[in-house]
Copies of this chain bind each other. A is one copy, B any other.
Amino acid sequence: MKLLERQIKSNGVVLDGGVLKVGSFFNHQIDVNLMSKMGKEIAKHFKDKGVTKILTVEASGIAFALATAINLKCNMVFAKKTQASNVTGEMYSAEAISYTRGTVNQLAVPKDYISKDDKVLIVDDFLARGGASNALYEIVKAAGATLVGVAIGIEKGFQGGGDKMREQGIDVFSLAIVDKMSPKKIKFRKQ
């Protein structure tokens, strides 16, 4: 999505350790016009897939998930992050390693909020090595629901998580894929 790529080039900041900061317009302060267009773009790709529920993770995935849900006219739910390993039996949960932050979280969703009849679209702001997206996929499987695909704002292609999911046959649709980045230059994959 050219508009997003331009914003990343103009306002994204590349830090050490493979970190791309886009908090000024995407996942902390939110450019609402851009976000609405991103939601529309995701909806266009998945519109004929019968999505019944969008699943994301707090906090930075919520706005993008809602923008998408408005356009797909379906409900959404977010997984909460907890350090506790003893999530209760009323929750579906899975472990998500964040390589960027060096943390491990349990992602948890109340069982009432996903049913086996749901066709779930996973939405998240970032996909790098795939820790969060794969954990959300574990939750979809635990619920016996069907995964329609994975919609991502910014994929760090050079970290490989997205391509590994594609190799499993999953429809991973990313609005921008960064294949290389340095403080001076960001190179996007042609899509």
Residue among B28, B73, B77, B110 making CB contact with A30, cutoff 8 Å: B77
Given A58-B58, A58-B59, verify A32-B66 contact (CB < 8 Å).
Answer: yes
Assess whether A23 is interfacial by the CB under 8 Å rule. yes
Asked whether, in the complex, the Cβ of B24 is within 8 Å of the Cβ of A76, the reply is no
A65-78 vs B, CB cutoff 8 Å, 1 = contact: the mask equals 01101100111111
User: Can you list the 10 inter-chain pairs with the closest CB atoms, starting with the nearest?
Assistant: A58-B59, A59-B59, A29-B77, A62-B62, A29-B113, A32-B69, A63-B66, A30-B76, A66-B66, A32-B75
Oligomeric state, in copies: 2
CB distance from A36 to the nearest CB of B (A): 6
Asked whether, in the complex, the Cβ of B32 is within 8 Å of the Cβ of A76, the reply is yes
Residue among B33, B59, B69, B80 making CB contact with A62, cutoff 8 Å: B59
Apart from the given pairs A29-B112, A32-B69, A59-B59, 12 other A-B contacts in the complex at a CB distance below 8 Å: A24-B112, A28-B78, A29-B75, A29-B76, A29-B77, A29-B110, A30-B75, A30-B76, A32-B75, A59-B62, A59-B80, A66-B66
CB distance from A82 to the nearest CB of B (A): 12
Assess whether A35 is interfacial by the CB under 8 Å rule. yes
- What residues make up the interface of A, taking CB atoms closer than 8 Å to B? 23-24, 28-33, 35-36, 58-59, 62-63, 66-67, 69-70, 73-78, 80, 110, 112-113
> A117 CA to B126 CA in the complex, in Å?
31
Asked whether, in the complex, the Cβ of A110 is within 8 Å of the Cβ of B28, the reply is yes
> A31 CA to B31 CA in the complex, in Å?
23
> A147 CA to B70 CA in the complex, in Å?
28
CB distance from A89 to the nearest CB of B (A): 17
